[in-house]
Structure 1
Amino acid sequence: MPERARAMRTAVPAALVAAAGLLLTACGTTPKPDAPAAGATPQRSAAAKAAATLGGPGSACALPVSFALAEGWEPKTVKDPENPEFAALTRQGPAVVRCEVDAKPAGNIGYLRVWTAPEGPARAALEGFVRAEKGSSAVAFRETRAGALPATEVTYSVRDKEERAFAVATPEGTVIVHLGGLDTDEHRAMLPAYELAKSTTQAG
């Protein structure tokens, strides 16, 4: 048999064997999980660990309610919030900010802020609070509980950034606890601290 024909007959089976090997390898390979799609909602972090109580006797802020603070979050009383010169920073609708809890020491960029409004229905105060937030949209209210107290909660967006708050009525006025954040990712990362505060809220 001529050398050229012998070479061709040898080469063809070799090529088929190689192709079959590649096919078997591809079929037998376990595909890697797909990466999360851009913009997908991340899974919520584990429950936050309580490290202190805010609002009670001897705490950083005197409030009509008290609740647990997540580990690493640092509270600070807002000084002179009733001063009209600072109204643009300390007032939102019917509410005045009383306390800021900074998340930076815990590794996030944002605040849990506590506001008070005159005595009245919690929902009415919360509606006025959200209406006063420029650019708010996708507003959704629901009746819930904060600890053992009846509460109204709202979720909404401000320029595509998620925000939320809950409000409870007390004999000393309505208390609004609001969670913002630098952006939606930061907001979602801080939700365990917000949920801890909501689930442990109590009067006095």
Structure 2
Amino acid sequence: MRVRALPIRTAVPVALAATGLLLAGCGTTSGTAAPATAASGASETGGAPEAAEEPVKAAAALGGPGTACALPVSFALAEKWKPEAIDDPENPDFAALMRQGPATVRCEVDAKPAGHVGYLRVWTAAKGPARAALEGFVKAEKGASKTAYRETKAGALPATEVTYTVYDKLMEESKEERAFAVSTPKGTVIVHLGGLDTDEHRAMLPAYELARTTLKLS
């Protein structure tokens, strides 16, 4: 039986009751991007091939001035995906929710309006090699295993990408996740795609690929 995945902001009441932590998200969507499409394909990191999906269309840009999240990079969002900035991400009282390894979450993009259960999240870390930040990010995720890294491109920028699995105790199964990282003059940016389960993750890969292939410095 599938259980609906909780976003950072709606998981707060649960976390509040359990740990006394609180997180809030806020923001509005604006901005446009030139039409673009992306489709998923076989994994280039030795993992299982992803299911083929229909290309997605770009409906907005994220990361630039006037968009929902101010980021060191910008990229195209798939149609109907809804971005929101994370409120007060540097608050030390909420570090358990806001931080993963060297990275702090800045923005999450909800796929539910597009019919999927999952999020594209953007994290930032201090200046340094993108791979080192990405390795620290994955090592900090509980239950992560079967990691595979590769050097690639995000737009025109050099990037490191990782695919891995995470064991979900609630679902009692492992699920696929992936992320890519780029170095910018303002620090390292990590774009991560999770999902309720592997099927949902693979269904959202075209939107992830759209973000990766259209990424540029803000």
Gaps of 5+ in 2: 1-47, 168-173
Mapped to 2, the partners of 1:117 and 1:161 lie a distance apart of 25
Shift of 1:157: 0.2
- 2:80 is equivalent to residue 66 of structure 1: no
Match of 2:122 among 114, 125, 130: 114
Q: Secondary structure at the match of 1:49?
A: strand
Mapped to 2, the partners of 1:43 and 1:111 lie a distance apart of 18
Shift of 1:57: 1.1
Mapped to 2, the partners of 1:42 and 1:118 lie a distance apart of 32
- 2:137 is equivalent to residue 129 of structure 1: yes
Partner of 1:46: 54
- 2:181 is equivalent to residue 181 of structure 1: no
Mapped to 1, the partners of 2:175 and 2:74 lie a distance apart of 28
Q: Secondary structure at the match of 1:78?
A: strand
Mapped to 2, the partners of 1:172 and 1:132 lie a distance apart of 22
**Aligned residues of 1:94 and 1:125 also touching (Cα < 8 A):** yes
Match of 1:88 among 70, 83, 96: 96
Mapped to 2, the partners of 1:82 and 1:91 lie a distance apart of 9
RMSD: 1.1
Q: Provide runs of 4+ in structure 1 moved above 3 Å.
A: none
**Aligned residues of 2:181 and 2:190 also touching (Cα < 8 A):** yes
Partner of 2:179: 165
Mapped to 2, the partners of 1:147 and 1:42 lie a distance apart of 21
Aligned partner of 1:179: which letter?
Answer: L
Aligned partner of 1:162: which letter?
Answer: E
Shift of 1:98: 0.1
1 or 2, which has the higher helix percentage? 1
Partner of 1:144: 152
Larger Rg: 1
Mapped to 1, the partners of 2:209 and 2:49 lie a distance apart of 18
Would you say how many aligned residue pairs link Structure 1 and Structure 2? 165
Shift of 1:43: 2.6
Partner of 1:3: none
**Aligned residues of 1:47 and 1:196 also touching (Cα < 8 A):** no
CA offsets, 1:29-80, max 9 Å, x none? xxxxxxxxxxx96632112110000001110000000000000000000001
Q: Secondary structure at the match of 2:55?
A: coil
TM-score (norm 1): 0.79
**Aligned residues of 1:73 and 1:106 also touching (Cα < 8 A):** yes
Mapped to 2, the partners of 1:199 and 1:109 lie a distance apart of 22
Q: Secondary structure at the match of 2:182?
A: strand
TM-score (norm 2): 0.74
Partner of 1:200: 214
Gaps of 5+ in 1: 1-39
Q: Secondary structure at the match of 2:87?
A: coil
**Aligned residues of 2:51 and 2:203 also touching (Cα < 8 A):** no
